[in-house]
A and B are shown apart, each in its own frame.
Chain A
Amino acid sequence: MQEPSATTFPRLLLAHAQQRPESPAYREKDLGIWQTYSWAQTAQEVRALACGLAALGFARGMNLAVVGDNRPRLYWAMCAAQALGGVPVPLYQDAIAGEMIYVLNDAEIDFAIVEDQEQVDKLLEVEEQLAAQGRKVRHIIYEDPRGLRDYDHPALMSYQRVQEIGREFDRANPGLFDQAVAAGAPDDTAIILYTSGTTGKPKGVCHSHSGLIGSARNGCAFDGLTAKDDVLSYLPMAWVGDNLFSYAQAMTAGFTVNCPESRETVMTDLREIGPTYYFAPPRIYENLLTQVMIRMEDAGWIKRKLFHWAMGVARRCGTDILDGKPVAVADRLRYAAGEALIFGPLRNVLGMSRIRVGYTAGEAIGPDLFRFYRSIGVNLKQFYGQTETCAYVCLQPDGNVKFDSVGPAAPGMEIRIADNGEVLVRGVGLLKAYYKRDDATREAINDDGYFMTGDAGVIDADGHLKIIDRAKDVGKLSDGAMFAPKYIENKLKFFQYIKEAVAFGTGRDSVCAFINIDFEAVGNWAERRHLAYAGYIDLAAQPEVIAMIAECVEQVNADLATDAMLAGSQISRFLILHKELDPDDDELTRTRKVRRGFIAEKYGVLVEALYAGKTEQFIETRVKFEDGREGSVSATLKLVDVKRIPPASAGAARAA
């Protein structure tokens, strides 16, 4: 069956409903059982909802807020809004009320479709503040009625009720829905996604139907995605990647979107569905690997021996087998044995048995981690993109996956490196504009039509792009040596014991770092050495843990010493923070990127202490709990010196 060639998402939906009405479109686990919705059913539901919204006054050009975990009904809400010529605006479901006010105001939200009581409460909470700015969310439509029985607010209405109204409206005004869908143009805004913004206020990125569909089609062709594929949809709907995978590509190719039951059951549901097309940020792959390793250490002697033998074979020839390169017969036989005994069952336990294409992006992924998954037969690849480019700039092709680069330009996209090292992008996936921010749009797109990503990178001999850091973060130490903080932070985070790192050094004479330990990995490490600890703060302050982390830092230094450009930016001192950096405290963005400027300010006293050469420093920090209340956490942190390796003896250090 051919892919439909419709040019807007609602028309794509109707085309699928005609061409493959009984094929599964969405699945949701409800009451312990996977409930399937076919394309025909989905089309009916979207129609009912769209007519309901129309009856309530939603018209072309209006924006619809969508907030909640991944639920088929929320995806249908996005399509319903688009069918009427409106624009869905998904928000992050774990944003606190105050963060939502800005978006609700900026996007002029009158209608909101939300998942459950939690989101309803947030909207009701900000009602007053919004009214003070002249805004009122007139309709709050909820999908899960649990806990809302006693609520008596004029704006509240259930999703089912809206659909009932919609069916009546449809009967009374036949053809209105079809007209609205036919009136949609490919150039219309399909969605507004607010960037989390490491600096300044969030900006609404507007993407057109043609931009998203074009990127999606190219991506599907690149990876051979068809209507038979399955994807697990568990990442925030407000994130551009989820929109690309679970909406744009699903609508284009017609594959099935599976929504897990709840956040706690994602890993179980992953195993049950066994998606063929999967995305996860590097930390999830890392967590899985850490858990596997921890459990392996508890296994019996025979299993451990077998596992380590198999992993040895995999390390030697696994990636080559996956890449289709020539491998000796003896090794192939060994790998086959490993496949039957270890790799197959391991992939099964991880839920990755059926993965044909597994992607990761967002942060650099450690080469060891990357190699591990590829060597056991998971086709893990990187891609590169941002909210402004539909997350579609570079894709790594099968068989040509390099660990330290993000791949060549994707079909339909062009990349160039500006004179100052910034990566410039042009092509089908580019944003239409920033919502109501023509000034920002003009600033971001240069005269040749290239979008300025703000990332510093180089293109290597094979045409693959290598990202170094955010362009404005690449700085110089006081002696002129190049300092790329993210590069150093990534190298630190490649160790399983280090969860997060922040490097400082611009304009200073040496590089210092804050480190967050990974509680689970370090806890396990401590338990094996019979070290008792009483929680995160206690564990982070133990001298043995500090010594272990110091070794990791020294290894990073040894690595940096081998690169002429970066040898000058080795880490001289570090400390382990007493509290994990958290988006709720504004230290990280919602996609877990480090807000270096904010952190430097908030922990200024620690930065100064590091550079002043002190051996320890007391700090008290304010923290925000999940419900928005504040508290404080304090500790005395040890500041540790680390050995640096002079570049001249780098060769000796590597040999050692």
Chain B
Amino acid sequence: MAWKGVERGGDGQPVWSGASAVAGAAAELQGGVQAEHAQAQARQAGEVILDLQHISLSFGGVKALTDISFDVREHEIRAIIGPNGAGKSSMLNVINGVYHPQQGRIVFRGEERRKMHPTAAARQGIARTFQNIALFKGMTVLDNIMTGRNTRFRSGLLANALWWGPARNEEMRHRQKVEEVIDFLEIQAIRKTPVGRLPYGLQKRVELARALAAEPSMLLLDEPMAGMNVEEKQDMCRFILDVNHQFGTTIVLIEHDMGVVMDISDRVVVLDYGKKIGDGTPEAVKANPDVIRAYLGAGH
């Protein structure tokens, strides 16, 4: 379901953003969303929650990341952009603990580490989505989202296998949380559908739902809008903003759609060939000559 709201643009006049958006939707996105985001921004000032210092990652002779340093403040939306192969997904994988950097330190919530472990990352409230969708295709949407609650399940294998009293009660509590996520992302109608049968856009939404089910304090999104049409992108933007505003979740976002990045992110990091070539607000980055040359092109 698309936005049915009347967004008020910067001057207070209604800016229509409707169900069957055609060309110009991105422009409308800008007007209405920017105003609201600026408002929300003014409310939230954050401490640095994640600090990456001099991260270098290489696979044999291939240097995926070279001496990258940037920080992420709490409650902000941080975008990582750059041409293909720049190392964006690798960066996310380092934050998450999937890859371990050869050099550098990760400071998360004041705790310093040489490398992150995925389980530790999950337990500390980092959740992520994957570029190519890592859902269990044979399971229903509901079950997939339940797996996002995995770290919070306390009862053991036997109790769950026999569906013993305490295990059952625990599952009911978790089910309620999952239903709230389903309600939030408006996917009630596909609750019992096996994920493999869903169209791509809905699978991405289920992936987001699974990440949200973990109640993360920081959400890593790897190209959440890849392969979506304008209407689906609007929906996804709306959901990401709602997550940020309503739950205060910090969001680190890899995205190629410049319109989306400029509209919804607070600060942007630009990578190219594994090196950082820009870091700052969207306007500053857009004007940066290095960024323009490497990625944006003269048109922007």
Contact = CB atoms under 8 A, between A and B. Distances in A.
B232 interface: no
A628 B5 contact: no
Nearest to A33: B179
Interface in A88-132: 117-118, 121, 124-125
B246 interface: yes
Residue among A32, A149, A150, A626 with the highest chain B CB neighbour number at 10 A: A32
Interface in B208-252: 245-246
B182 A117 contact: no
A528 interface: no
A628 B189 contact: no
A264 B190 CA distance: 9
A627 B39 contact: no
Given A125-B6, A149-B246, A264 B18 contact: no
Given A31-B179, A125-B6, A150-B39, A626 B188 contact: no
B174 interface: no
Contacts of B179: 31-33
A125 B20 contact: no
A32 B19 contact: no
Contacts of A147: 5
B14 interface: yes
B4 interface: yes
A325 interface: no
Interface in A30-56: 31-33
Interface string A616-640: 0000000001111101000000000
Residue among B175, B188, B192, B245 with the highest chain A CB neighbour number at 10 A: B188
Contacts of B142: 32
B18 A629 contact: yes
Interface string B83-110: 0000000000000000000000000000
A39 B39 CA distance: 45
Nearest to B182: A32
A124 B6 CA distance: 9
Contacts of A118: 4-5
B183 interface: yes
Interface in A228-265: 261-262, 264-265
Contacts of B16: 627-629
A268 interface: yes
Nearest to B20: A625
Interface in B102-131: none
B14 A626 contact: no
B132 interface: no
A532 B189 CA distance: 30
Residue among B6, B19, B22, B180 with the highest chain A CB neighbour number at 10 A: B6
Contacts of B18: 625-629
Given A262-B188, A265-B188, A31 B5 contact: no
Contacts of A264: 188-189
B71 interface: no
A232 to B, nearest CB: 16
Contacts of B20: 625-627, 629
A149 B244 CA distance: 13
A149 B36 CA distance: 12
Contacts of A631: 22
A295 B19 CA distance: 30
A426 B4 CA distance: 44
Contact of B19 (A124, A150, A265, A627): A627
Interface string A260-286: 011011001000000000000000000
Interface in B186-219: 186, 188-189, 191-192
Interface residues of A, number: 22
A111 B245 CA distance: 31
A55 B14 CA distance: 33
Contacts of B22: 631
Nearest to A264: B189
Given A31-B183, A625-B20, A121 B36 contact: no
Interface string A5-31: 000000000000000000000000001
B189 A31 contact: no
A33 B6 CA distance: 31
A627 B5 CA distance: 10
Contacts of B39: 150
Contacts of A150: 36, 39
B29 to A, nearest CB: 14
Contact of A627 (B4, B188, B245): B4
B19 A117 contact: no
B277 to A, nearest CB: 36
Interface string B1-45: 000111000000010111110100000000000001001000000
Interface string B272-300: 00000000000000000000000000000
Nearest to B187: A264
A265 B189 contact: yes
A149 to B, nearest CB: 7
Nearest to B14: A125
Nearest to A261: B188
B136 to A, nearest CB: 19
B19 A625 contact: yes
A32 to B, nearest CB: 4
A329 B246 CA distance: 67
A175 to B, nearest CB: 40
A121 B4 CA distance: 8
Contacts of B19: 625-627
A87 B22 CA distance: 42
A629 B28 CA distance: 14
Nearest to A125: B6
Contacts of A262: 186, 188-189
B150 to A, nearest CB: 20
Residue among A31, A117, A626, A629 with the highest chain B CB neighbour number at 10 A: A31
A71 B253 CA distance: 38
A116 to B, nearest CB: 9
B33 to A, nearest CB: 13
A625 B246 CA distance: 30
Contacts of B188: 32, 261-262, 264-265
A634 to B, nearest CB: 16
Sorted nearest first, the 5 A-B pairs with minimum C-beta distance are A627-B18, A264-B189, A31-B179, A118-B4, A625-B20
Interface of B: 4-6, 14, 16-20, 22, 36, 39, 142, 175-176, 179-180, 182-183, 186, 188-189, 191-192, 245-246
Given A149-B245, A631-B22, 6 more contacts: A32-B175, A117-B4, A150-B36, A261-B188, A264-B188, A628-B18
Interface of A: 31-33, 117-118, 121, 124-125, 147, 149-150, 261-262, 264-265, 268, 625-629, 631
8 contacts: A31-B180, A32-B191, A121-B4, A125-B6, A262-B186, A262-B189, A268-B189, A631-B22
